[in-house]
Amino acid sequence: MSDTQQIIDDSFARLIKTYAPQPVVLDHGKGCYAYDTDGKKYLDFAAGIAVASLGHAHPAMLEAMQKQAARLMACQASYSTREKLECAKLMTDTSCFDLVYFSNSGTESVEAAFKLARKWAYDEKGEHCNEVIAMRQSFHGRTMGAASITEKRHTQHFYAPYIEGIHFAEFNNLDSVKELVSEKTAAIIIEPVQGEGGLTPAEPAFLMGLRQICDEHNIALIFDEVQTGFGRLGKLYAYEAFECCPDCVKGGDVNEANLQVIEPDIVAWAKGMGGGFPVGAMAAKTKFGVAMQPGTHGTTYGGNPLACAVASAVMKEIMQPAFIDNVNKMGARLVSGLEKIQRESNKITDIRGKGLMIGVDTIYDVGKFLSALQKNGMMATQAGKSTLRLVPPLIVGEQEIDEALEIIGKTLQEGAE
Ligand code: PLP
């Protein structure tokens, strides 16, 4: 038996089986490429599922990590550090949010957002106001709060009972949201682009409609930007990528002179924010953020100086204008290359997405197509039941986009039956 197979089999024997193992053992990475233990090179368009925003082994991240690890890695969450302040400042100075809470993962950021919304509604409107409206096909994470607002709960009855007071509306259908709103509604939560749900972008008019409903009924609007934040959609924050004019909600024409950014009240971040380092954050406008007081919520590791130093280093890279420019240019290049393949091969049935978060439906089973891509030296991932999800590092260049297109074209030609 090969070393590789031995590692896979031994790992499977010793790990709780939450994932089906891939037939590859990864060893190291550099830039947009990852290498397995047999020395095979893969163009990494999965990036740890939209995590390695700066690619693998980025010098700015390594420098921040090494320097900070040698200085201070751990401290009680109640202590201030320069690193925590710098990171919070970078976020509040560049976004519509005023207050930040650091976590260690996406699900924790969502959990914190959920708790903050309930605490705010309890203080503001009373005990009865504790319901949350989530979307069908949503994915928000796997802790009980996040799982309770995630579509998959409908097929995972073995974890019941889920948290009470959750209702599911149709994504991109404002009437279905309106039907669920009552005096008990504390919050509405949405992913600006549904990831796990099949890579579906929200329509700007739908998001603007949610904003109007929340303003009218004093409800907290939460955006889960765990996968879409930090440059992924071609803006620093996902909420900035959905400008809309208020009249469009009622079906009016787009008025370019009155385009407005749709600001949520609370946001959940993680993934690309740490570039691969496990860190997340929940941020809020003052009105909502002040609902949390000492003793209401917390975390041992959240906001530790190492995580904050790395997240700041990642942010400083992403915040350079040329960086976001690159995301938009490379996203456009990827989509136009995919459209060309679609015209020539007739094997692509849909292409959708924003920035460098692109979904592709093909005539092949997505699992089989991913395996075929892997054999041809490219890693990608799945979104929903049938969509190929392309979420490369945001530093990706023209050469790597063209290489990805070549591998996708070749794999489609070979077939993935
Ligand atoms: N929210 C969204 C939109 C996600 O895509 C994910 C992870 O894929 C999560 C939450 C959960 O994040 P984590 O896996 O870091 O807990």
Q: Which residue reads 């130093």 in tokens? A: 309
- With a 6 A CB cut-off, is 270 part of the ligand 1 pocket? yes
Q: CA 209, 210, 215 angle in degrees (round to 5)?
A: 100
Cis before residue 161, ω within 30 degrees of 0? yes
Percent residues over pLDDT 70 in the chain? 100
- CA R_g for the chain: 21
- With a 6 A CB cut-off, is 140 part of the ligand 1 pocket? yes
Residue 1: pLDDT over 80 = no
- From residue 52, how far is each of 10, 11, 204, 358, 407 by CA, in Å? 27, 24, 27, 16, 21
3-state secondary structure of 267: strand
3-state secondary structure of 202: coil
Residue 334: pLDDT over 90 = yes
Structure tokens at 56: 């693998």
How far apart CA 388 and CA 406 sit, in angstroms, is 16
- With a 6 A CB cut-off, is 355 part of the ligand 1 pocket? no
Give the pLDDT of residue 254: 84
Residues of the chain with CATH 3.40.640.10: 72-318
Among 4, 50, 45, 60, residue whose Cα is nearest residue 27: 4
Residues of the chain with CATH 3.90.1150.10: 3-58+321-414
How far is the centre of ligand 1, averaged over its atoms, from the C-alpha of 161 (Å)?
21
159-198: per-residue pLDDT in tens?
A: 999 999 999 999 999 999 999 999 999 999 999 999 999 9
Mean pLDDT in residue range 366-371: 98
- With a 6 A CB cut-off, is 272 part of the ligand 1 pocket? no
- With a 6 A CB cut-off, is 139 part of the ligand 1 pocket? yes
Closest residue to atom 13 of ligand 1, CA basis: 106
- With a 6 A CB cut-off, is 226 part of the ligand 1 pocket? yes
Among 344, 338, 415, residue whose Cα is nearest residue 373: 415
Residue 97 burial (CB count, 10 A): 25
Give the pLDDT of residue 256: 86
Ligand 1 closest atom vs CA 270: 15
Q: What are phi and psi of 170, to 5 degrees?
A: -75, 130
Residue 44: pLDDT over 90 = yes
How far apart CA 238 and CA 246 sit, in angstroms, is 19
Residue to mutate, 226, 282, 299, 381, ligand 1, most ligand atoms under 8 Å from C-beta: 226
How far is the centre of ligand 1, averaged over its atoms, from the C-alpha of 417 (Å)?
31
How far is the centre of ligand 1, averaged over its atoms, from the C-alpha of 257 (Å)?
35
Residue 329 burial (CB count, 10 A): 15
- With a 6 A CB cut-off, is 106 part of the ligand 1 pocket? yes
How far is the centre of ligand 1, averaged over its atoms, from the C-alpha of 141 (Å)?
5
Ligand 1 closest atom vs CA 194: 3
Give the pLDDT of residue 252: 84
Q: Answer yes or no: are the C-beta atoms of 281 and 94 closer than 8 Å.
A: no
Closest residue to atom 1 of ligand 1, CA basis: 140
How far is the centre of ligand 1, averaged over its atoms, from the C-alpha of 219 (Å)?
23
Residue 3: pLDDT over 90 = no
Mean pLDDT in residue range 331-343: 98
Give the pLDDT of residue 257: 87
- From residue 308, how far is each of 202, 223, 269, 378 by CA, in Å? 30, 22, 13, 31
How far apart CA 224 and CA 145 sit, in angstroms, is 13
Ligand 1 closest atom vs CA 146: 10
How far is the centre of ligand 1, averaged over its atoms, from the C-alpha of 247 (Å)?
33
Task: Average the pLDDT over each of 55-69, 108-122, 245-259 and give the range with the smallest value.
Answer: 245-259
| Average pLDDT of the residues of the chain | 97
- With a 6 A CB cut-off, is 232 part of the ligand 1 pocket? no
Give the pLDDT of residue 150: 97
Pick the CATH number of 72-318 from 3.40.50.1370, 3.40.50.12280, 3.40.640.10, 3.30.70.360: 3.40.640.10
Give the pLDDT of residue 50: 97
- With a 6 A CB cut-off, is 191 part of the ligand 1 pocket? yes
Q: Answer yes or no: are the C-beta atoms of 416 and 372 closer than 8 Å.
A: yes
In terms of C-beta distances under 8 Å and separation of at least 24 residues, what long-range contacts does 331-336 make, across chains too?
A: 331/234, 331/355, 331/356, 331/358, 333/398, 333/401, 333/402, 334/358, 334/390, 334/392, 334/401, 334/404, 334/405
Q: Answer yes or no: are the C-beta atoms of 69 and 291 closer than 8 Å.
A: no
Q: Sign of torsion, CA 32 37 39 40? A: negative
Ligand 1 closest atom vs CA 110: 10
Closest residue to atom 15 of ligand 1, CA basis: 106
Confidence of residue 265 (pLDDT cuts 50, 70, 90): very high
Q: Answer yes or no: are the C-beta atoms of 57 and 30 closer than 8 Å.
A: yes
202-256: per-residue pLDDT in tens?
A: 999 999 999 999 999 999 999 999 999 999 999 999 999 999 998 889 888 888 8
Residue 399: pLDDT over 90 = yes
What fold characterizes domain 3-58+321-414? Answer: Aspartate Aminotransferase, domain 1 (3.90.1150)
Closest residue to atom 5 of ligand 1, CA basis: 227
How far is the centre of ligand 1, averaged over its atoms, from the C-alpha of 313 (Å)?
22
How far apart CA 359 and CA 219 sit, in angstroms, is 32
Q: What are phi and psi of 28, to 5 degrees?
A: -160, 170
- With a 6 A CB cut-off, is 227 part of the ligand 1 pocket? yes
Sheet holding 99-103, edge to edge: 99-103, 280-284, 266-269, 220-224, 185-190, 131-135, 166-169
- With a 6 A CB cut-off, is 381 part of the ligand 1 pocket? no
Q: Sign of torsion, CA 116 119 124 126? A: positive
